[in-house]
């Protein structure tokens, strides 16, 4: 069907607005996205992971030499405050960014998971000091070492987020460390109830083992989030 000149002029071309944008943006068109991906998220997650690694290292040191634990606890508390600020900044960036580097739900889950790990590290140090545990059993020190190793693996995996390389081997290692931690914790609690420890000591140490195991469990949760991000963006 032939369209008259008048009718043709009235009919808006579906891509006419694109031509207008080409005129506005000129040679920049095609080189950059109108709403670029926000690299700030990657930077914040990397900073958060590094903060957790430092805190877990201090916890490992504190439980290895309990006489220095109060000092390590205060340093961990400072890092926990820094971690809270980083988490708040991630949420603020999420609220003001239209296009995110990966799913918004995954960004929130990753931020929440990392924040929880740091909270656990601080709670472990704080609880040990408050309970006045003066002799740290070897299983607790081993769990702290496993936790420090797990967060280091998470840091490596987070460092690969932007490249899209996944970091699958680091995620697998977190799962392995969490499995080892479960075994260590179960054996430690069994010994705790079989060695006729004073009831108050049993309660204190059981709480300590529980917090260390919970922290490792949360590391595994974060590893699962990272694995999901890698699969979605493969």
What is the pLDDT, as a whole number, of residue 166? 61
Give the alpha-carbon dihedral of 178, 218, 138, 63, to 10 degrees.
140
Find the angle CA(77)-CA(78)-CA(83) to the nearest 5 degrees. 95
Tell me whether residue 87 is in a domain.
yes
Find the angle CA(98)-CA(50)-CA(176) to the nearest 5 degrees. 100
Tell me whether residue 18 is in a domain.
no
The phi and psi torsions of 29 (rounded to 5 degrees) equal -60, 130
Q: What is the CATH number of the domain that holds 123?
A: 1.20.58.220
192, 205 in Cβ contact below 8 A? yes
Tell me whether residue 182 is in a domain.
yes
DSSP of 54-91: HHHHHHHHHHHSGGGHHHHHHHHHHHHHHHHHHHHHHH
Tell me whether residue 146 is in a domain.
yes
For every one of its 234 residues, what pLDDT tens digit does the chain have, with 9 covering 90 and above? 444 444 444 444 443 333 343 333 333 333 333 334 468 899 999 999 999 999 999 999 999 999 999 999 999 999 999 999 999 999 998 888 888 888 899 999 999 999 999 999 999 999 999 999 999 999 999 999 999 999 999 999 999 988 776 678 999 999 999 999 999 999 999 999 886 788 899 999 999 999 999 999 999 999 999 999 988 877
Q: What is the spatial distance between Cα 143 and Cα 216, in angstroms, rounded to a whole number?
A: 8
Tell me whether residue 27 is in a domain.
no
- CA-wise closest residue to 156 among 146, 144, 165, 143: 165
Give how many domains the chain has, as a whole number. Answer: 1
Range of the domain at 202: 40-217
What is the pLDDT, as a whole number, of residue 38? 65
Tell me whether residue 20 is in a domain.
no
Tell me whether residue 59 is in a domain.
yes
């Amino acid at each position: 069907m032939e369209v008259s000149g008048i009718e043709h002029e009235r009919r808006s071309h579906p891509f006419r607005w694109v031509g207008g944008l080409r005129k506005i943006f000129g040679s920049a068109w095609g080189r950059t996205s109108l709403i670029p991906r926000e690299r700030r998220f990657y930077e914040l997650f990397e900073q958060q992971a590094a903060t957790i690694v430092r805190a877990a290292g201090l916890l490992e040191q504190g439980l290895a030499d309990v006489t220095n634990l109060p000092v390590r606890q205060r340093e961990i508390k400072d890092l926990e405050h820094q971690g809270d600020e980083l988490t708040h900044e991630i949420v603020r960036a999420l609220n003001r960014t239209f296009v995110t580097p990966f799913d918004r739900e995954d960004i929130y889950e990753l931020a929440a998971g990392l924040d929880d790990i740091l909270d656990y590290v601080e709670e472990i140090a704080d609880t040990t000091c408050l309970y006045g545990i003066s002799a740290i059993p070897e299983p607790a020190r081993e769990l702290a070492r496993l936790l420090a190793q797990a967060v280091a693996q998470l840091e490596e995996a987070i460092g690969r987020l932007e490249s899209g390389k996944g970091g699958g081997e680091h995620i697998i290692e977190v799962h392995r460390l969490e499995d080892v931690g479960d075994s260590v914790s179960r054996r430690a609690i069994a010994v705790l109830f079989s060695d006729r420890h004073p009831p108050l000591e049993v309660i204190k140490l059981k709480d300590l083992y529980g917090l260390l195991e919970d922290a490792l469990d949360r590391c595994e949760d974060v590893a699962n989030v990272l694995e999901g991000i890698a699969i979605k963006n493969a």
